[in-house]
Amino acid sequence: MRLKNQIGQNLIEYAIIVAVVASAMLAMSTYVFRSVQATQQAIQEGYKD
């Protein structure tokens, strides 16, 4: 019974780690997308001159 509880606890810990990493990547993707847009806009404005 103890081994079964430990396996379940390990599974929950891995699920929490995956959720934290996924949420961090999702938050970072917003900033990366904004940065790419700003870079593209700067390039376009440079060509207009």
**Domain extent at residue 5:** 1-49
The residue whose two tokens read 């990366």 is 32
Q: Is 0.75 surpassed by the pTM of this model?
A: no
State residue 9's pLDDT score: 84
Tens-level pLDDT at each residue, the chain (49 residues): 566 677 778 899 999 999 999 999 999 999 999 999 999 999 998 876 5
Give me the phi and psi of 16, to 5 degrees please. -65, -45
The C-alpha atoms of residue 18 and residue 10 are separated, in whole angstroms, by 12
**What is the count of structural domains for the chain?**
1
